[in-house]
Structure formats: structure tokens, C-alpha cells
Copies of this chain bind each other. A is one copy, B any other.
Amino acid sequence: QSLSLLFHRTNFLSSSLQLRFTYCTSFSPFFLLWELVFISSVVMTGTGGQAQNGSVDVLDLLQGWGSGVGTYDDFNTIDWVREKSKDRDRHREISRKRRQSITALLLSVSDAFSGWLLMLLIGLMSGALAGGIDIAAHWLTDLKEGVCLNGFWFNHEHCCWNSKETTFQERHRCPQWKSWAELTVGVTEGASAYVVNYLMYVIWALLFSFLAVFLVRAFAPYACGSGIPEIKTILSGFIIRGYLGKWTLVIKTITLVLAVASGLSLGKEGPLVHVACCCGNIFCHLFTKYRKNEAKRREVLSAASAVGVSVAFGAPIGGVLFSLEEVSYYFPLKTLWRSFFAALVAAFTLRSINPFGNSRLVLFYVEFHTPWHLLELFPFVLLGIFGGLWGALFIRANIAWCRRRKATRLGRYPVLEVAVVSLATAVLAFPNDYTRMSGSELISELFNDCSLLDSSKLCDYGPLAKGGEPAGNLSEGTVGQAERPAGPGVYTAVWQLAMALLFKMAITVVTFGMKVPSGLFIPSMAVGAVAGRLLGIGMEQLAYYHHDWDMFHGWCSPGAHCITPGLYAMLGAAACLGGVTRMTVSLVVIMFELTGGLEYIVPLMAAVMTSKWVADALGREGIYEAHIRLNGYPFLEPKEEFVHKTLATDVMRPRRSDPPLSVVTQDGMTVEELEGLISDTSYSGFPVVVSPESHRLVGFVLRRDLVISIDNARRCQEGIVGVSRVIFTEHTPVEAQGAPPPLNLRAILDLSPLAITDHTPMEITVDIFRKLGLRQCLVTQNGRLLGIITKKDILKHMAQMANRDPDSILFN
């Protein structure tokens, strides 16, 4: 149904001109500063544009008088082949001129380096934005608890940073920081203080979430959600105007802070990718090379999505692999190298901002020191199974919920929905320490390996916290390193964590998909981290009380420190994230960059692999693919192979019962006939044949180009009337005396349409569409044109086949 957007039509000429106009004028105020700084580059690319206009290329000539040929409507698919050809033409032109003058040589050099400059800009801007978002979200999150008297703009940690009245142990309690209860009713403990704090927490949460959803609704509807499904679709060649625009950027940045601060079960990682892509798209407008070419721009966006993950996790290599594995469609090696550069620049910008004050890029950076034992692979695989199960179930539940939202009245009140969910989250989250804290804090706490100085509940182990005698067979020297019995704090923590697990699992399902910016990484990781920590504590206690069991024999002797619950938490987080997103290499590399040790890659791989297998067995799609399908975007999944044994003839139009294919003959039609064909049909293009009888293919002409050209000719060219013949041949034939002059449109004819035979297996056809980025392909039989296959037909066919035989692609 929504697929019809693909061939959606508007009064395109006017709308496209209008859009271009909007872009050009509204661009300057926002980027005045940048323009001043990079005036030189703008000037330089400006002249580059002139150089291009001087080209003899047909498309450019047409752009001179038509301005519209070669561009796309909103919700349309780009033609990769044409875009790449256009870029090569531009490039050839620059190369040709290079020899002629020094200026042209400099221009060609600046053209070559403009990609790097663009990457630098994206890296700097995204890093700065990510840092700002981190700081602002941290501050607003703390504002729910209290306020700093030294200045309301300090967060809790900053407020107490320089306070001399606190000890290291009590570093979170300083007189400058006042909870709301302290400020209003004047007490810090007791029931009334609790009630006031509770109330303020809920009110702030509601306020933040309301503001977020209001801003999104009012100014930038595209700013909601994680953005990754749409970015995947855009990168595959779809056009969604405004999705990566400046308003989306501004609103998404602000509302992301609000949404994270409101305490909803969502993360900032996915939206950061969207923010980085907005930066990329906006900076593309500084350079003609990227502004005018949809394919080149998508290369930049691929790099930008790497930048997003790089700043979200402080993992530049992981970010590049994420872009390669998960998001990108066309990812040449040149882009790989540039993505890496941009990701590094962004990571270093973020580090110099230092949002967490610990010179780390993420809150939950962790270093483990205890090696793991081969036998531990068993619980690790268990975590993988849990992650896979949770991932598959989450996707099903979330998709069902989103479908319900679309189908029922629920979808009509997005603000109310957010308010209700936010209220429920805040009310349920406050009583439990582990749900009250933000997602990243929770993950950080769970990943943490207990050191001797740690004062958290999770580290409240028997002999250490009580200061009593070492229990059991512990030798004196290893106290603190050795396995210890759990103290009361740990028991409380376990209980609270179990409740938090159930709560997070339920609330995340309804949260993802609401009309606020919402990432999935942090909630998924939180669920996994809680489960992993619980299993880790369980294993630890098992090892302590039953160290004589065979399975612990030899590696977990009394007095040894053998189980690291933090490692279990990390593996659980990776497994759950893997189950939800089906990332593999990039996930392992991101986690590797978070922990910084080759040691833990093997457990990580075990958990992530198991998780992926289990999740794939229960449902083939990751959450992003599921949302793409839910929204009906025309996305041709590059990872899955088409395995059915159908032929092109089964898929092509017209079907047997349909009217014959609408074709244009190369010299037999008049302007009126063509206009009639255009208004009668809604196809996005027409094959041009030698004659209706022979059906021998000459080329392909796009509807949009045809309409614009006829329109232009009628306005600008002398003597073009309804009965003028339209000619697509090389030489315009001499018309009979008195007849109007013919209109030769060979310039807009695509002389190299790809044609396949009717016996071509669909698996090969799908491969061709995917790899070459086609919009349509003609089908011939024994040299005669028989029909046409569009991307839409392929997607429909794939959906049909998948429904007919759902598990046929299971073991691939």
C-alpha cells in the first residue's frame, strides 16, 4: 500500500523548483557562520559548478533550459547508474580542463580534496553535537532529582566536584546540591521528602517528554524514532525530502536531550546516527559535487552514519563497520577510508569536549583484569540464547504494538501516548534505584568490576563490607580479589535488578516507535546487562559455595578470583543488542573498543553468534528491517539472498491478463499521442521501440523527463503543436510539406537500458537490481521486448514468496 509512494506523482515541475528555491534561500541564515569560515571553499566549489555548466554534456545542456531533467520527485528511487555517470561526466570535465590553466588545476585539486574537507566538517560538527547532547542530557537528568545552588546549570557531579566538605566515600553528597525535598520542605529523609522527590521526578519527566513530543509534532515530524530504518532506505536510493534537513537536525538534537532526560526507556545512539547524517546532508550543500549528485551524497551519508556510531560508543572502527554491515548500501573502499577519517575526527572532538570528565568517550567504558575460563563459555552461550530469545520476542511484540498503533485510534493521539507512557515509566521507575538512574548509568554500574573502594550495593560482599574475618578457606592475602559471599546489599540489588529486568522488558516494547527520538541500543543493552549481571552473581556465588564441584575444579579454587560478574553483564548486553539488531562484526568490534582487550573477544563472539542464530531461527528480520517493512519503504535488503526458483517472466508486467505494455515508438508518435499516454498511465517511464510490430528495443525514456521536455518545447520551441511528430532517432527525418516541424527528444532517451531475457531466474535479476542499483529493467524474449520489471515489482514478488514459504530462507 505504502509502496505506491514509490511511484507517487506530484505536479513535479513546480514543486521541485519550489523546493530548490526553499533550499537555497533558507540555507544562508543558518549557516552564516560556516559560510564565513568556509567562504573560500564555497567560492571554489562555486566556480567548480560553472566549470560543470560549461560542459558539453547533454544533461547539463538540458538543465540549462529545463532545470528539472535529471532530478527526482519526493518518495522516489534514484537511478544509481545515471547518478554515477553524471559524476563521472563532471569528473571528466574537470580532468580535461586541468591541463589548460593553473586555476583549473587548483580547482581540480580542491575538488579532489573537498571530500576530505567535508568529512572533517562532519566529524567536528557531529562530535561537538554529541558532546553537547551528553552534557545537556546529563544535566537535565540530574535536574529531576535536585538543583545545584552554585548555579542551576551544574549537574550533580559537577556541583560536588570542587566541594571541600565531602569525603571520597560521600562524594555524591555535598551541601551545594539540594534535592527538591530539601529545597521545598526542608528535609532530606523521611516519608515527606520521599513523596516530594517522587512527585518532582514524575513532574519533570512528564514535562521533558511533553516538550519533546510537542516540538517533534510542531516543527519536525521526521525527528521521531531512531531514524536508522529511514536512513537505510535513503542510503539504498530512496528520496525522502526533509528527512535529513536542518529542521530535523535542530529539533532532533533538542528533543533527544529531552527524551533521554525524561527517563523514558530509550537511548541516544540511534538518533545520534540520524543527527550525524543530518550534518552530513547539510554540509553536502556546501559542495556542488555532493549537492548535485544523489549517489555521491549517499557516500557521504554512509560515512556520516559511521560518525554517529563512533561518537555514540566512542568506537571509530566499530562505527565504520556498523555503517558497512548494517546501514550502507553502496560502500566503495574510498568511502571506507573517508568514513574512518570522519569517525576519528568526531571521536577526538568528543574527547576534547570530555563530557563525562573521565577522558572516556562513553559512560560505560570498562576494563577487566581477570581472565575467563573455557568452562565459562557455557553460561556465555546461555546469555547468547537469552539475548536471541529476547531480541526475537521484542521485535515481534514491538511490531505488533506498532501495527496496533497504526491501525487503531491510538495512533491519532501521539502526544497523549507519550505522556501516558512517560507517566507510567516515571511512576514505576522511581522506587527502584536501578530503573531510576538513566540507561547509560545503569549499564555502567552493571559492567563495573567491584574494586576494593567501591561503595555500590552491587559490591557489598560479605567479608569486605563487614570488615569481618575472611569466610571459609580464604587465605588472608587475597581478600578482595577472591570470591566472596554476597552481603545483604547484593541480595537487595539482585531483587531490584530482577524487578528492573521485567520493567525494562515491558516498557521498551511500547516506548520504541513513539513520536519522540528514541534509540534502541541502550534499552536493549540494559536488559542484557541486568540479565548478565544476575547470571554472573549467580555463578559467582555458586563458585563460592560449591568450589568443590567438578566444574570449578582446577580453575576456581578457594581464594581465587575467577568469576567477573561485570563481564557477564557486558556479554548479556552484547547478546541482547545482537538479538535485536542482528549486528555481528560491528557489535563485537564496538564492544572490543569499549573494553579494550583482545581477551574478551572470544566470549563476545560466542554470545553474539549464539544470539544471532537463536534470533534468526525465530524470525529472520532485525528490528530495523522489520520497521522498514512495517512502513512499506522500498528497500531491497542487500544481505538476504533470494532463493526461489521463479523466472523474470513470472514477475514482469504486463501479466497475461493485463493490457499490452505501453511503449513509445521511435518515430511514429505525435506530441498529443504522447501526452495522452502520459495522462492515461502512471508508469514512471516508457520503453522506446523501433515499431509496434517488431517490438525491438531502442531505449527507455523517463516519464518525468518526457513531461518536462514536452512542456519546455511547447513553451520555448517554435512550431511545436499537438500534431508535431516526436522523434527519438539520430537523424531527424524531413517532414512532408506543411506539416509542423518534428520534436527530436533523443537527448532525453536512455540508450542503454538494461534488458534481460524472460528466462532469467529471479535470483539473478534480484542480484542485478541490487548490485547495479536499478530502478527498472526491461524483459525481452528472442530479441523482442516483452515487458518490464520495476523495483516495486521485485519487492512485491519477494514479499509474496516470503509469505508463501516463510522459513525457506532460514538456513542460508
Residues of A bordering B, CB below 8 Å: 81, 84-85, 88, 91-92, 94-95, 98, 108-109, 111-112, 316-317, 320, 324-325, 332-334, 336-337, 340-341, 344, 347-348, 584-585, 588-589, 592, 596, 598, 601-602, 605, 609, 639, 641, 643-645, 648, 690, 694-699, 751-757, 759-761, 763-764, 767-768, 771-772, 780, 782-785, 808, 810-812
Contacts and interface: CB of A to CB of B under 8 A. Distances in A.
Nearest to A770: B771
15 contacts: A91-B643, A98-B811, A316-B598, A325-B336, A333-B584, A334-B812, A340-B584, A690-B782, A696-B784, A752-B760, A752-B761, A755-B755, A755-B756, A767-B772, A771-B771
Nearest to A336: B585
A95 B811 contact: yes
Q: Which of A347, A585, A643 has the most CB of B within 10 A?
A: A585
Given A85-B764, A92-B645, A317-B592, 7 more contacts: A111-B811, A317-B317, A325-B333, A337-B584, A337-B585, A596-B596, A754-B756
B697 A783 contact: yes
Contacts of A699: 757, 759
A325 B333 CA distance: 7
Given A589-B317, A757-B751, A763-B85, A694 B337 contact: no
A340 B753 contact: no
10 nearest A-B residue pairs (beta carbon) = A696-B783, A752-B760, A751-B759, A112-B811, A771-B771, A783-B783, A337-B584, A696-B782, A340-B585, A752-B757
A108 B592 CA distance: 33
Contacts of A756: 752, 754-755
Give the secondary structure class of A's interface. Answer: helix
Contact of A752 (B111, B337, B592, B759): B759
Contact of A641 (B88, B592, B690, B767): B88
Nearest to A109: B811
A404 to B, nearest CB: 33
Contact of A763 (B88, B584, B605, B783): B88
Nearest to A785: B783
A748 to B, nearest CB: 14
A643 B783 contact: no
Given A585-B340, A752-B756, A811-B95, A783 B694 contact: yes
Contacts of A111: 811
A755 B760 CA distance: 12
Contacts of A771: 771-772
A103 to B, nearest CB: 15
Nearest to A695: B783
Nearest to A57: B645
Contact of A753 (B333, B336, B757): B757
B783 A333 contact: no
A332 B770 CA distance: 13
Contacts of A91: 643, 812
Contact of A783 (B108, B332, B780): B780
A87 B759 CA distance: 18
Contacts of A94: 811
Given A341-B605, A348-B602, A601-B344, A92 B643 contact: yes
Contacts of A752: 648, 756-757, 759-761, 764
A601 B645 CA distance: 49
A359 to B, nearest CB: 11
Nearest to A754: B756
Q: Which of A84, A347, A609, A752 has the most CB of B within 10 A?
A: A752
Contacts of A596: 596
A95 B643 contact: yes
A336 B596 CA distance: 21
Nearest to A318: B317
A605 B339 CA distance: 12
A806 to B, nearest CB: 12
Contacts of A324: 336
A269 to B, nearest CB: 19
Nearest to A320: B585
B764 A81 contact: yes
Nearest to A347: B598
A747 to B, nearest CB: 13
A517 to B, nearest CB: 28
A644 B674 CA distance: 35
A699 B760 CA distance: 10
Contacts of A698: 782
A782 B316 CA distance: 51
Nearest to A593: B598
A767 to B, nearest CB: 7
Nearest to A597: B596
A112 B697 CA distance: 43
Q: Which of A317, A336, A780 has the most CB of B within 10 A?
A: A317
A303 to B, nearest CB: 12
A530 B351 CA distance: 33
Contacts of A333: 325, 584, 639
Contacts of A785: 783
Contacts of A755: 755-757, 780
Contact of A602 (B344, B605, B811): B344
Contact of A690 (B601, B648, B783): B783
A698 B760 CA distance: 12
A105 to B, nearest CB: 10
A519 to B, nearest CB: 22
Contacts of A88: 641, 643, 763
A224 to B, nearest CB: 29
Nearest to A644: B92
Contacts of A810: 95
A84 B763 CA distance: 9
Contacts of A780: 697, 755, 783
Contacts of A585: 320, 336-337, 340
A98 B643 CA distance: 15
A54 B617 CA distance: 27
A767 B756 CA distance: 17
Q: Which of A645, A690, A761, A783 has the most CB of B within 10 A?
A: A783
Contacts of A108: 811
Contacts of A81: 764, 767
A644 to B, nearest CB: 8
A580 to B, nearest CB: 17
Contacts of A598: 316, 347
Contacts of A588: 340
Contacts of A316: 598, 601
A757 B696 CA distance: 12
A770 to B, nearest CB: 9
Contacts of A764: 81, 85, 752
A474 to B, nearest CB: 29
Nearest to A584: B337
Contacts of A784: 696, 783
A89 B660 CA distance: 33
A288 to B, nearest CB: 16
A109 B337 CA distance: 38
A697 B109 CA distance: 47
Contacts of A592: 317
